[in-house]
Amino acid sequence: MARASRQAVTIRHVAAEAGVSLQTVSRVMNNEPNVRDAVRERVNEAVAKLGYVPSLAARRLSGSRSYLILALNDRDRTIEGWRLGQGNDWVDQMLYGGMLKSAEHGYRMIFELIDSHAAHVEREVSAALAALRPDGVILTPPHSDNPVIVALLEARGMPFARIGSYESGAGVAIRMDDAAAGRAATEHLLALGHRRIGFIAGPAEYTLSTERAEGYRQALLGAGIALDPALEEIGDFTFDSGVRAAEALLAQAERPTAILASSDQMALAAAQVARARGLALPEGLAVVSFDDTPVVRFSMPPLTAITQPIAAMASTAADLLIRSAGGDVIEAGPYILPFALAVRGSTQGNDH
């Protein structure tokens, strides 16, 4: 084996050293059954002697698993966020949670962008599945509730997790309690004495948008405040849509004294519109956001925000899918992860 020491050690070197087939080495590396103890010991000794580190291709030789998790994210919104460079790290947090958890199990997570609205979405997803043969798929909003994608994965018997989904059916739903988060953010503003609170919702295709709006309304009704449709605007999570919504809210004769926005970008837009109108935060207008990405922590003043457990949701999704691929029985869920309210200068006057 002198030659192996001068180049990268491969599974073929291990097989030759142990006197077994490539498939047997793969089965040992994957801790699969039906390998005699003596053979398993011989392979492990060869691995230790040669310092072999199994490649993904070698681990897939047995054919039982691919050791890949496929994560699908919305193409248009992701590319737009990258292009504008506005500091939205939703994707970063999702990758952080999913990739680290995958690595713990010896897996790799592959990230693909799919256009949820395209007529050929089924073809795009099918092509990704055929090319990668993943052991499971992570869907992020709005893919999580896309009936075409969900039906395709279900028909193929592909295990999948749906982040931010409230729909019943196949796959494992993982989310935070968006209604409770919307309620907590609104109650924070009510506790500060605000009674006329504007709300900028996200697009209706995201079920979580509806849930957050419901939480906002529940908090107002719980405080004995009648709902006013004029205080609710709809955006699409982008900065520009937040500008349009905030301008509509702040142009009212009896304008809101606080605004709760369903994304950081829309909250930052509300803050900008307020400043343009001579309203300082929080004295002239209090602002609360959702997501809590880094950009809101470094704004002036830092924005109070609902911290969404993005990394934890992706980590949970990867863990459940990998355990399922290993033969574990996974409960259907839904899995509800906790959120937090980070109180900062946009509501309290200083960063707590």
* pLDDT over 60 (residue 73): yes
For the sheet with 286-291, list strands across it: 232-234, 197-201, 258-261, 286-291, 304-307, 340-342
pLDDT band at 132 (very low <50, low <70, confident <90, very high): confident
Q: How far is CA 42 from the centre of its chain?
A: 43
Instruction: Name the most confidently modeled range: 61-70, 101-110, 301-310.
Output: 301-310
Tell me: the pLDDT tens digits for 218-276?
Answer: 999 999 999 999 999 999 998 999 999 999 999 999 999 999 999 999 999 999 999 99
197: left (phi over 0), alpha (psi -120 to 50) or beta: beta
Mean pLDDT, rounded, for 320-331: 88
Strands 197-201 and 258-261: parallel
Q: What is the largest CA-CA distance in the chain?
A: 85
Q: Which residue has the tokens 């939703």?
A: 90
Among 2-6, 32-36, 156-160, 243-247, which is the least confidently predicted range?
Answer: 2-6
Q: What is the pLDDT of residue 2?
A: 45
Q: What is the dihedral of CA 26, 28, 33, 35, to 10 degrees?
A: 100
Does the bond joining 334 to the residue before it have cis omega, within 30 degrees of 0? yes
Mean pLDDT, rounded, for 299-314: 94
The three-state secondary structure class of 78 is: helix
Mean pLDDT, rounded, for 134-138: 95
Contact 139, 174 (CB under 8 A): no
Q: Report the C-alpha gap between 52 and 15 in whole angstroms.
A: 11
Domains and CATH numbers, the chain: 2-62 (1.10.260.40), 68-176+310-338 (3.40.50.2300), 178-308+341-348 (3.40.50.2300)
pLDDT band at 135 (very low <50, low <70, confident <90, very high): very high
Q: What is the pLDDT of residue 38?
A: 86
- H or E element that contains 271: helix 264-276
Q: What is the pLDDT of residue 91?
A: 84
Q: What is the pLDDT of residue 5?
A: 44
Q: Report the C-alpha gap between 265 and 247 in whole angstroms.
A: 15
Q: What is the pLDDT of residue 118?
A: 67
Mean pLDDT, rounded, for 196-202: 97
Which residues make beta-bridge pairs with 70? Answer: 110, 137
* pLDDT over 60 (residue 87): no
pLDDT band at 339 (very low <50, low <70, confident <90, very high): very high
Strands 172-176 and 335-337: parallel
